[in-house]
Structure 1
């Protein structure tokens, strides 16, 4: 039995996994905004599926939480009922991670057995499976950073955890598109179009990483005026702390970098969308480019709203959802340009 050149069923499976990744990113954002990420102080990949049952088990879990700095320094007056509120967010986040793992492993094994996965995509699906396993370890590595010397997780570890989730999202969508469309017969668009499309995707991803640093440092709770920062274009930064601490832990600097990158992204995506609109190109590419530009402007507005509201949970989650949608559209745009017809390849800016 020969392997197929394309497979709509494999594509549909990967789209479902991508949707689950979007969901877990949003739940992770809510977990962060509600301060719930350290409520479960142990990593039990199997036993941890079962939540506490009964007063005795809840009291035991609460006692473990009471041993970490976050409780002693921030939540010392927390009641058992309040602890349950933050516990369920973290538990849901971890359960979703396990669900995603099973949603990858079991269908992949079945599709391999029935020879449904296109040969050129087997290694990609295998890489996705391995990266999801790695993501579980990275998640615990992140949580562990907040259990002894800190009252929250290390920002750079939060950035790594979110970054890997977004890489998985892009890989799932890109591989699903490949499985649905089949192998390309051409070389795609010329470098004059592919390079800026890939650059846009990379810049959107980089901006999301900066957003994770902002969240990890609670940098959205300072400098809540816009467009200036406490009346200045740039905040005061104490560089004597060292470059690492400044770039990854200084609240003013990480917020400033997030703002600057947003401005650059808005200019870049707007110019690119205008250039695409002026060419006789595939309507899908024009629509995706225009949609990406509009969504980037909406996302910028949501960022300002989150800032001036001191990162209210609703504006914070809307901003995070906006980032995920922008990344998805940027991925679709880059893929369609990479797979564009020859007539598109022969055109230039």
Structure 2
């Protein structure tokens, strides 16, 4: 009994550490969005994982860093004539983004080693933590791979690499959150996935994640700037030029009109699916925690829809667009919480 109580205490400590890591990853996702929206992502033209911790401190080092930036197409084709002071501004966004990534690595790795060496990890968690650490390393490499795609003749990062970079960040965050739920609420029983309502909730988690990837594609192609009207796109619901390219399917990934249209339709369908699911789940379960999750899910959905429409109408201002990105992750968090609660519900409670 004493051992069990000690492990419960350790589980709460580990959960608290993972919550802190998840909060910082959430901040990293927001800062990444701001970095992109302020066109700051290509300001650091070198990748020095260890030596790049210290920023330029003297006027001479700032000028040398600026001169390196001038040698690349973004300055030559877009920002020619930019002052050193303006360069400092965009540089610091990217610098802070990279530094926060390093901080997350330290914040995760050192406590993980401590819990491992003190043998405080519950059975099965160690491998999952190592997987998270590996994914974090992949995220750093993928970030530089994305930046490199813009240090060429066309100074814009690949929308495919940006979507992958964003998708992996959200995946890391979601996995952390799921482990927190396991530690604080208890793991789902082995038969939890076989329950119909539970399976539907996991499908919705995947759909919300897909919506985030769709949003990343919009961001990577700047498709959000194409039409600043709602509910119509310009003067019609179906704008001219949809899937007009050759081959037509490629427009879903490269044509800004088609990408924005698809994102809107995806949002409509997902919103209806989430509302229908929430109503169905509310009727079938009475657990207070689960009902709280359903309410939070609906509130997050309303917030996200409002932010999406407002961002469009105001022509993608930085603050609103970053909030919209954060709202998507918040909606995913609520959907994950509901899915986890449903998997833990006694089978008799879901048999209606």
Q: Do they superpose with TM above 0.5?
A: yes
Q: 8 Å contact 1:29–1:320 — kept in the other structure?
A: yes
Matched, 1:342 2:347: yes
Could you tell me which residue of structure 2 aligns to residue 281 of structure 1?
Answer: 286
> Superposed, which structure 2 residues align to 1:1-349 within 5 Å?
4=7, 7-184=11-188, 187-188=191-192, 190-235=194-239, 236-237=241-242, 239-243=244-248, 245-345=250-350, 347-348=351-352
- For residues 322 and 273 of structure 2, the distance between their equivalents in structure 1, rounded to whole angstroms, comes to 25
Q: 8 Å contact 1:142–1:153 — kept in the other structure?
A: yes
Mind listing any 5+ residue stretches in structure 1 that lack a counterpart?
none
Residues 12-46 of structure 1: CA deviation (Å, up to 9, x unaligned): 11111100100000110110110000000011000
- For residues 298 and 100 of structure 2, the distance between their equivalents in structure 1, rounded to whole angstroms, comes to 32
Q: 8 Å contact 1:163–1:209 — kept in the other structure?
A: yes
**Structure 1 residues 244, 96: CA separation in 2 closer, same or farther (over 3 Å shift)?**
farther
Q: 8 Å contact 1:194–1:337 — kept in the other structure?
A: yes
* Residue aligned with 2:284, SS: coil
Q: 8 Å contact 2:11–2:184 — kept in the other structure?
A: yes
Residues 85-130 of structure 1: CA deviation (Å, up to 9, x unaligned): 0000000000000011111111111111001111211111111010
Mind listing any 5+ residue stretches in structure 2 that lack a counterpart?
none
Residue 135 of structure 1 deviates from its aligned partner by: 0.3
Residue 8 of structure 1 deviates from its aligned partner by: 1.0
Could you tell me the TM-score, scaled by structure 2's length? 0.94
Q: CA RMSD in A?
A: 1.9
- For residues 68 and 247 of structure 1, the distance between their equivalents in structure 2, rounded to whole angstroms, comes to 30
- For residues 183 and 290 of structure 1, the distance between their equivalents in structure 2, rounded to whole angstroms, comes to 23
